[in-house]
Structure 1
Amino acid sequence: MLDACRWLALEVKYLDPIVSFYTTSLSTPVVAESDREIAVSVGGEAEIRLRRPDGVPRGGLHTHYALSCPADAYDLWWDQLSAKFDLQEVDFGSMRSLYLYDPVGNCVEIGGADDVQGLDDPTLSGIFEVVFEVESLPDAEDFYTDLGFEIVDRGDDRRRTRLTTGPFDIELWEPHLGLADARGGVHVDVGIGSGDPAATADAVADRATKREPVEGGVRIRDPDGHYLTFVDDL
């Protein structure tokens, strides 16, 4: 069984400017650092991993992803970020989301998706959505439903599909511009909690283009070049 998103890797040429954006504008603390990669915490057990393009897996390019926050933190985020960024907002009825771009062109969404917590300062509570660009929606849908994702929404023009594990959604987009002119990411690398990483990977063994053991789990590559690492639930 699949669970929450543990990390999303983003490709950056130079670490310092992008790390400054995340630590300063989004108040995300650095939790790990190496010559190639710096990881920042975005709430819960989730990390954004900012990664230089000098190996594989690479981080995602122009990736649209969504961070959750407590509902009463949303207006705090709006007030803090609107002073420095040209924000866009979408009201989905059950929640509102704001959109901005980081310095390397990733579309960052913050949605007031969690319970009210009586906060005085803006805070984040994890990654609830990542968008993958795919060549064929039907083929990608088959791959991800076999992994254990459930389809919960399709676009009216059949250019996108939303799938969920419960706490985490993947949107599959054929190439196009979405909300806030966002694009789906290419060669995205994510980590996802799993009750049985090996069995999860086995479900798509005939279509995964790469498979390898990693510490605490199994990493595969899907037919569109995205990497998924299934790690043991804590």
Structure 2
Amino acid sequence: MGWSGDTLLEMADGEAIRVHNLKRGVFLRDESGLSVRVECVVVTTRAHRKRLHDERIVAFDYAKHMSTGACISDFRESHRPTARGHPWNPVHIPGRSGSGCWMYLREASASTEETPMDTETYDLILDKSHRGRLVSVFGNVCIPTLGHNRRDNVVMHPYFGTRAVIDDLEKMPGYQADGRVVLREEQYERTQDITNIVCGIRNPDQSLSDACNVQ
């Protein structure tokens, strides 16, 4: 996945915090207004800002979403969503009926330019008892975290959405110590088929996740 460091999330007390300021033990607000605890912050670094079509940063655009009518939502007018990340990142739009809907960030982005991917992007792992929950972006859009185990069409992922990614990250320096793992982009392994999706994280001292056995 990968979120820009300036994305604003909502803390349990209602205050806003930028993703790059998160650390283990911070309590965020979930899709139901309950508290969820951050277990680990995963930072992916790049040597330079990419300009490839599928490696760019886009921002959720309130006006575009409301004009498309893709999902009847209940945004707070004073706090419009501030999610910024990879265009294929899934976001959940809370609905007035209670269920809401999933969509890709690119579907609700006003950006027509290919803004280069940030040199650092961020992902989160929640405490074990909270991993299926979503995290509220300041403004009432919600995003998933790693190992969420959700099966909805847009959000499901055979690696990022499963226990496999957490198993790999737990072996990385920093996870056990202070809950902050820093990865280089080239550590991500991808399947060798047409999908070319991420299926593991390379660690010189560990074997890859079984997810990378997909051919």
Common topology (TM > 0.5) = no
TM-score by length of 2: 0.30
TM-score by length of 1: 0.28
